[in-house]
Copies of this chain bind each other. A is one copy, B any other.
Amino acid sequence: MESVSCVNVPQVAAAICPYIHYVHARSKQKGASALLSLTRSMIKQEVPLRQIVVNDRVDVALLTSAGAVQLPANGLSVVDAKSLLSEGTRCGVSVHSLEEVQTAEQAGADYVLFGHVYETHCKAGLVPRGIAQLESICRLSDIPVIALGGIQPHHVPELYHAGASGIAVMSGIWEAKSPVAAAMEYRRMVDLVVHDL
Contact = CB atoms under 8 A, between A and B. Distances in A.
Interface of A: 30-34, 36, 56-60, 62-63, 72-77, 80-81, 83-84
7 contacts: A31-B75, A32-B57, A32-B76, A34-B74, A57-B57, A63-B80, A63-B83
Contact of A74 (B31, B75, B84): B31
Nearest to A30: B74
A36 B75 CA distance: 9
B63 A62 contact: no
Contacts of A63: 76, 80, 83-84
Nearest to A69: B59
A36 B76 contact: yes
Q: Which of A30, A36, A58, A81 has the most CB of B within 10 A?
A: A58
Q: Which of A57, A59, A74 has the most CB of B within 10 A?
A: A59
Given A57-B59, A58-B59, A59-B59, A33 B75 contact: yes
A72 to B, nearest CB: 7
A75 B33 CA distance: 5
Nearest to A60: B76
A59 to B, nearest CB: 4
Contact of A77 (B33, B75, B76): B33
Contacts of A57: 32, 57, 59
